[in-house]
Amino acid sequence: MSYNVGIVGATGAVGQELIELLHARKFPIKQLTLLASARSAGKLIHFQDKSWTVVEATPAAFDDLDIAIFSAGGTLSKNLAPEAVRRNCVVIDNSSAFRMDPDVPLVVPEINAEALDVHQGIIANPNCSTAITLMGLYPLHQEFGLKRFWASTYQAVSGAGAAGMHELETQIRDWVNAKPMKVEAFPHPIAFNLLPHVDVFFDDGYTREEMKMVNESRKILTLPQLQATCTCVRVPVLRAHSMSINAEFTKPVDVNRARAAIAAFAGAEIVDDPAQLQYPMPKDYAGKVNCGVGRIRKDLALDNGLALWIVGDQLWKGAALNAIQIGEALIERGKVAS
């Protein structure tokens, strides 16, 4: 069995990783079609010994596709995902357009693959910080019962796409060459700086990115009462996100059991040997399938609390990899027609 697969947003940073990962993971592709907005249609994309001409993402473009992975922003997803579904194409959507729709499963396959079984054509891929955070928090939830958590993020510029990565690199080069920094992709310079601001602000002072962590965690973990507060910060790192987490549980916690639970969880790994100065760092997590968890210790201000540090590739587990894993799980569970 193999499938006609489409990537919508093929020219973006996540699109590029999707092409690479579909090949690296030997996704059962009959034919790969690269789609994008009219602006990018006609572009030629090369990968290994192949090349594709990007076609415009129109409703008719989905006629012959079995699976389409959307990573081209919420507006395009909102307009075209229903058209694709109407044409019997299953949509895995990397935008936030459908994540909180009660009829749309929001899936991290290692956590809630069973939610795929009731899909109605669209499956949502979670926010990058949320997916990476839950790779550390979910095994702890299974072990101790998650009650509430606080997250402070250290988010790479890849979260703003290829333009974000280009902006950090360009500002760094300009600094070295004593030229003024240009500011385009972010509202302020990011080189040698931090922006406590990711996505738009709501009236209560939170950003949409911060509320995604709260709302998407509740949905993925099926914990509608879960309490969480998140502070999202952009840092001058290229493509791995890091999270400092304080979490409270319903049962007594134990650091060694916490490490064992995370180590046994597919997709997560423990890097937690302070004596050898080993802990997860973003430089080691670009292009890595697993998320790294370390600095695990008893929280000093909570009765049943743990403090920990989680790192994962924003473009992979935070986007392209998780989307493809959703596709793999759909096939495995017989939830996509070929």
Binding site for its own copies (CB under 8 A): 148-150, 152, 154, 172-173, 175-177, 187-189, 192-197, 201, 204-206, 214, 227-229, 231, 233, 235-238, 242, 244, 246, 255, 272, 274-275, 277, 279-283, 294-302, 305, 307, 309
**Cβ closest to its own copies, residue 38 vs residue 301:** 301
CA-CA distance, 316 to 321, in Å (whole number)? 4
Residue 136 CB, shortest distance to its own copies, in Å, is 13
Contact 326, 116 (CB under 8 A): yes
301: tokens are 């201000």
207: tokens are 């950003």
Active site residue 46: no
Residue 58 CB, shortest distance to its own copies, in Å, is 36
Residue 293 CB, shortest distance to its own copies, in Å, is 11
- Which strand (E) or helix (H) includes residue 7? strand 3-8
Span between the terminal Cα atoms of the chain, in Å: 7
Residue found by looking up tokens 């996704």 in the block: 27
**Cβ closest to its own copies, residue 15 vs residue 280:** 280
Instruction: Give bridge partners of residue 49 from the DSSP assignment.
Output: none
Catalytic residue among 128, 230, 232, 291, which? Answer: 128
Residue 322 CB, shortest distance to its own copies, in Å, is 22
**Cβ closest to its own copies, residue 216 vs residue 272:** 272
Residue 4 CB, shortest distance to its own copies, in Å, is 38
User: What is the secondary structure of 278-295 as a DSSP string?
Assistant: B---GGGTTT-SSEEEEE
**Cβ closest to its own copies, residue 38 vs residue 300:** 300
Catalytic residue among 119, 232, 241, 291, which? Answer: 241
User: What is the secondary structure of 281-333 as a DSSP string?
Assistant: -GGGTTT-SSEEEEEEEE-SSSTTEEEEEEEEETTIIIIIHHHHHHHHHHHHT
**Cβ closest to its own copies, residue 109 vs residue 292:** 292
Active site residue 241: yes
Residue 103 CB, shortest distance to its own copies, in Å, is 26
Q: What SS3 state is found at 164?
A: helix
- E strands along 27-116, which residues? 29-36, 44-47, 50-53, 55-56, 67-70, 90-93
The runs of H, that is alpha helices, within 33-115 are 74-86, 109-112
- Residues classed as catalytic: 128, 241
